[in-house]
Chain A
Amino acid sequence: DTEVTQTPKHLVMGMTNKKSLKCEQHMGHRAMYWYKQKAKKPPELMFVYSYEKLSINESVPSRFSPECPNSSLLNLHLHALQPEDSALYLCASSSDRGEYEQYFGPGTRLTVT
């Protein structure tokens, strides 16, 4: 399997809801990433996990909570989001942390109402 997969594809949630985004890869990659992308803008890094440990948090608000249950899975737990958090959330993976090719999943289109 040479792909990064993400579920769900679309998510609409209210500001009081709790939801989770899921990302999976079976390429044996040891680094996984969460990015946020607004329309017509580049991806913005949120979190980096290396060997299942959080290695970079780009000062992301605590209403976003990442989790890496194992080397193939990455979750992003969402709680009390704001409408401005509406965006495309992309997961990526690379063989290791560092200057390696990052492969993106298809993203979850999140709308906060």
Chain B
Amino acid sequence: GENVEQHPSTLSVQEGDSAVIKCTYSDSASNYFPWYKQELGKRPQLIIDIRSNVGEKKDQRIAVTLNKTAKHFSLHITETQPEDSAVYFCAASIGNQGGKLIFGQGTELSVKP
């Protein structure tokens, strides 16, 4: 079946450093790739997304890149701050099942001051 692999499972960086989280998906019909941030005890919050007709998208300190040929996409956070500490989930749409997202297993990011 379709799946999304996410790496690393944990990531610890120093404040001000960059953080990169990578995901690989299996469904070649996937066209939509959102990223969610979930702080402890809170809801998953959509922070950025990308569609298959775009290779890169940026929003302030956050960027996402997509390589459709290799079926992988990555989240880049620059100038990390302690408030970036959270679990980050990537997801990919399933091509023939409108509305269904497959999530990666999550990356627990810790930003040390």
Contact = CB atoms under 8 A, between A and B. Distances in A.
B43 A105 contact: yes
B44 to A, nearest CB: 5
Interface stretch (B13-21, B60-68, B75-83, B100-108): B100-108
A48 B46 contact: no
A110 interface: no
Q: Is the interface of B mostly helix, strand, loop or mixed?
A: strand
B99 A33 contact: yes
Interface residues of B, number: 25
B99 A101 contact: no
Interface in A43-75: 43-45, 48, 50, 55-56
Interface of B: 31-32, 34, 36, 42-46, 49, 51, 87, 89, 91, 93, 97-101, 103-106, 108
